[in-house]
Chain A
Amino acid sequence: MSLWKQKRIMSKAVGLAALALSAAVGTSASAEEAKTQYFPLATFRVGAYASSGIPVWAGEIDYFRYINEVEGGINGIKLVWDECETNWEVEKGVECYERVKAGKNGSPVPIFLPHGDPISKALTEKSVADKIPLVTIAYGRTEAIDGRVFPYSFPVVFSFWSEASSAVNFIAEKVGGKDKLKGLKIATVYHDSPYGKETQVPLAHLAKTYGFEDIQIPVPHPGNEQSAQWAKIRQLKPDWVFLRGWGVMTPVAIKTAAKVGFPVDHIIGGIWSGSEEDVRPAGAVGKGYLAVTPFPAGANFEIHQKLKKYILDKGLSDLKDPKSFGSVYYNSGVDEAIVAVEAIRTAQAHFGVRPINGEEAQWGLEHLDLSEKRLAEIGATGLQQPLKLSAKDHEGGGAGKVLQWDGEKWNVVSNGWVKSDRDLLLPLIYERAAAYAREKGITPRDATN
């Protein structure tokens, strides 16, 4: 068969699929009331990581419903959202982003939450072209803190570098000051992936500054067998272990540590090793395990009382399992929703009370100022740290709380928010951002606008 014929057949198939697809798209659009703010959600309710995803959307959707039901929207502009399933896969994530980016029924997309480190990386440049800010709380490219080079990427609140530095500073808090770090051995057991390696550079730098010994031990994906790694730990005898896992790796690490006799209260989990879903499967040996997180668990924050009264008790919650109310992942969803809503509010104050587009939301994010006072008004004191963003600083906070597992629930054991050494690390981050700009031929924005 000739190439020409093949092409013809192929194009027929394409045409047929196109027809079917466009018919499907057509039916999904229904009339919505005017003056609403569209907010698409990229979710992963199926796939390997679904168990950690489901409570996140619950927290997010519950807060959106609270804003709509109780506060009547953001200054009267109600939020509407729909879901697009990514399976936590890059290709599906890109497809979802392309599907929703044009907005819905005339309402533009203010912010896109990629929910997946690789997805956020694949969208870095596309989001600049489309002028839609990506908000990636506690994941995403660390260099994107430099908004002059990455105008539409917002790794707000807590980057991986801040995570590492906060963990080290918590150890300092425990041993009685940063000068006591000298001579300590801190081993990082990490998921051997780009995500897992993100903290190598900052830890090496911190080790040089404070004089502790930095040991790096990789665990291959998925991490369901770690005898070799923990045998090495037993041999090297580190004082502390910093555990940067993902998925099944965390409970296996806790169990294996118990087997080799490493004290569980000297293991500090990272952000993605610090949820109920991570430690519960480890069973009794998980009691005493620590974790550093920007999303402190707990259902006693003021906002939780309101959510319980107006959303959960009225049966409006998206939560399937009421036990997850106030869990780390649920609270991360609430946190993320607060940041998004407040950024839209900030943009509205500048551009007018109406649905906000991506470019305006980018301005709103860069001028976001979540002060203690504002957090108290929202009812998020203690849940969310004060956050002030600018073009030069897309992270803002950079502090985490350290939680300890008591066998039933997490308790905060650090002295409030543990700040990271951002002054020490920011120059390195800016250097990396500048290198990226050179490689890509980007002229950094003027930060004064």
Chain B
Amino acid sequence: MVLLAALAGIPLVANDYWLNAVLIPFLIMSLTALGLNLLMGYAGQASLGSGGFMSVGAYATYNLLLRLPELPLPVSLLLGGIISGLVGVVAGLPSLRIKGFYLVASTLATQFLLEWLFNQYGWFSNYSTSSSISAPRLAFLGHDLSSPAGRYLLTLATVVVVTAVAARLVRSQTGRTWMAIRDMDTAASVIGIPVSAGKLKAFFVSSLVIGIAGALWAFAYLGTVDARSFNLDRSFQVMFAIIIGGMGSVRGNFLGAAFMIFVPILLDHLGGGVFGGAVDPGQLENFQKALFGALIVWFLIKEPRGLAALLSRAWTRLASRINR
């Protein structure tokens, strides 16, 4: 509770840079990673469609805010997420017949189809010249949420609620079903676990969470987006975040997202501070990229199960040393 208050109190001390460029994208990336982790880490269904589902959430929420302005913001967000979840169920149908790399290929098709769809049909973006969408006024209960602090609190509240629900869900019957499917789906179906329903449910919940994250990405973070903001690179970024953070772990999402968002920025600041002016800026940039890649490799060698496992191992070691 104290910590929640501290997180909510951040806008009082942090400046716009921290909110807009670091914390908001970190929180949203964590949420997206959580969505994919439910599907991939818990239910074992690999997907490269995260970017596509983010765009469904963003475009659906945009249209709800635009065409049904009387709906309160959280309802529009949730409905946008539900629409994305339903699209996720359709995209998940192939998972009933295929798995592994074949499923990855079919979700890849979903990703490209969705990106094409929003670029192609003007209706989704209200016939804007550049088929980009931008947030109508963000307000809830009469409070204007368009300031950096307002957008941060909106993001934080959403992430906390969704994470709480997801954390309960993975410990419920549903979560156990998913893990049974992940570990061995034949055995799961033999002992009477509804495999097909479980898979589709995983696609629904995962896409719902990713859809909400997509809407936040569009409106609370960037302000204006087009379908390209949710391209395949985004899907890969989310997948890397959960691989680095730890599959099948809720806090791994936050660790992975932190790694993906903070480390490049940190390297950039360090590079600028240490070598600024002395080294060619282009070379410096390339060096940072290489270093980031090397760090990923190093972490995965140290702990293939991700930062979450690394952290809990360190924690156990520390605890045992204290107890001794």
Residues of A within 8 A of B (CB): 1, 3-4, 6-11, 13-14, 17-18, 20-21, 24-25, 27-28, 43, 45-46, 50, 54, 82-85, 87, 90-91, 94-95, 97-99, 101-102, 117-118, 121-126, 129-130, 141-143, 192-195, 197-198, 201, 220, 432, 439-441
Contacts and interface: CB of A to CB of B under 8 A. Distances in A.
Given A95-B21, A197-B130, A9 B269 contact: no
29 contacts: A9-B311, A11-B6, A13-B254, A21-B265, A21-B266, A28-B269, A28-B273, A45-B282, A46-B286, A82-B276, A85-B268, A90-B222, A94-B21, A94-B221, A101-B16, A118-B132, A118-B229, A121-B130, A124-B224, A125-B223, A126-B20, A143-B129, A192-B119, A194-B226, A197-B119, A201-B129, A440-B134, A440-B137, A441-B136
**Range of interface residues on B (Cβ < 8 Å):** 35 or more
B275 to A, nearest CB: 10
A63 B163 CA distance: 52
Contacts of B1: 4
B224 A121 contact: yes
Contact of A99 (B17, B116, B282): B17
A25 B15 CA distance: 14
A46 B20 contact: no
Contacts of A95: 21-22, 265
Query: Which residue of A85, A94, A126 has the most chain B CB atoms within 10 A of its CB atom?
Result: A85
Contacts of B12: none
A97 B222 CA distance: 12
Interface of B: 1, 3-4, 6-7, 15-18, 20-23, 25-26, 66, 116, 119, 126, 129-132, 134, 136-137, 146-147, 163-164, 167, 221-226, 228-229, 250-251, 254-255, 258, 262, 265-266, 268-270, 272-274, 276, 281-282, 285-286, 289, 311
A8 B321 CA distance: 21
B276 A17 contact: no
A197 B131 contact: yes
Contacts of B229: 90, 118
A15 to B, nearest CB: 10
Given A46-B286, A197-B129, A201-B129, A1 B258 contact: no
Contacts of B129: 141-143, 197-198, 201, 432
A7 B5 CA distance: 11
Contacts of A7: 3-4, 7
Contact of B254 (A1, A6, A83, A97): A6
**Which 7 pairs from chain A and chain B are nearest by CB?**
A45-B282, A24-B269, A194-B130, A28-B273, A98-B21, A27-B273, A95-B21
Given A193-B119, A194-B228, A11 B134 contact: no
Nearest to A220: B116
Nearest to A428: B129
A28 B272 contact: yes
Contacts of A142: 129
A24 B250 contact: no
Contacts of A1: 250-251
Contacts of A43: 281
B281 A10 contact: no
Contacts of B20: 94, 98, 126
Given A6-B250, A198-B129, A193 B282 contact: no
B131 to A, nearest CB: 5
A124 B223 contact: yes
B223 A122 contact: yes
B256 to A, nearest CB: 11
A17 B266 contact: yes
A94 B222 contact: yes
Contacts of B7: 7, 11
Contacts of B223: 122-126
Nearest to A92: B264
A108 to B, nearest CB: 15
Contact of A440 (B136, B250, B270, B276): B136
Contact of A122 (B147, B222, B270): B222
Given A46-B289, A91-B25, A193 B228 contact: yes
A108 B119 CA distance: 38
B66 A439 contact: yes
B27 to A, nearest CB: 10
A21 B17 CA distance: 12
B258 A13 contact: yes
Given A3-B163, A6-B254, A10-B251, A98 B17 contact: yes
Contacts of A118: 132, 225-226, 228-229
B134 A124 contact: yes
Given A43-B281, A197-B131, 8 more contacts: A3-B167, A21-B22, A28-B269, A85-B268, A101-B17, A117-B130, A118-B228, A124-B223
Query: Which residue of A87, A90, A130, A441 has the most chain B CB atoms within 10 A of its CB atom?
Result: A90
Contacts of B130: 117, 121, 141, 194-195, 197-198
A270 B250 CA distance: 49
Nearest to A140: B130
Contacts of B225: 90, 118, 121-122
B11 to A, nearest CB: 14
A1 B254 CA distance: 14
B22 to A, nearest CB: 8
B125 to A, nearest CB: 9
Contacts of B273: 24-25, 27-28
Contacts of A85: 268, 281, 285
A193 B116 CA distance: 9
Contact of A24 (B15, B136, B137, B266): B266
A27 B132 contact: no
Nearest to A120: B224
A130 B15 CA distance: 13
Contact of A45 (B6, B22, B269, B285): B285
A82 B268 CA distance: 13
Contacts of B66: 439
B115 to A, nearest CB: 9
A1 B249 CA distance: 10
